[in-house]
Amino acid sequence: MLKKILLVCFAILGLVKCTSTPITKIIPKVTVLNLKEISLARVTIKRAGEMKITLNIKNLTNDNLEIVWKESSINNSLPFITKQKYNEATTPMPNTILSPFSNFVVDVLPSSNVYFGNYWRQLYLEYPVDIVLKLKQGTKEEFVILKIDVIITEN
């Protein structure tokens, strides 16, 4: 009887193993499209996922730096920050102020990917993703322009 139970368990385990989907890994491939050197900040992609992108923004100056969200975009849509309320998806975020030499890590996605069905939902990102961030320090303004594509691998 014990042998039959073990045989059934191994058969179920083998069936589950054969039908499970392989683990995929998303590797971001980032192209910086700026025409001139960016002196106010360094923007790097910490993670590019199926639904959002994690940005790491480093203020390179000894003065406060603003991220102007209402003049920034992701795939020609307002950026939606995961700390926002879903019903504010079409409302631009207030500017984010970074202290001198500080890091700011933020998850973003296009606001057009947030919608209400029976409940609030997010759509998957469509790669390549174009990100434009407006940075402002006093009267100086710079735009960081990134194109993010991904390489998807199976483990």
Bigger pLDDT: 104 vs 32: 104
Average confidence score pLDDT of the chain: 80
Residue-range domains of the chain with CATH: 23-154 (2.60.40)
**pTM, to two decimals:** 0.73
Query: By the 8 A CB rule, do 46 and 55 touch?
Result: yes
Average pLDDT over residues 80-105: 82
DSSP per-residue codes, 37-61:
---SEEEEEEEE-SS-EEEEEEE-S
pLDDT of res. 56: 94
> First vs last Cα of the chain: how many Å apart?
38
For residue 9, is pLDDT > 60?
no
pLDDT of res. 133: 93
Beta strands per DSSP E along the chain: 24-32, 41-48, 53-59, 65-74, 79-81, 96-98, 103-110, 114-116, 120-122, 129-137, 140-154
pLDDT of res. 1: 66
Average pLDDT over residues 36-52: 85
Q: What is the pLDDT of residues 108-120, one digit of tens each?
A: 888 888 777 777 7
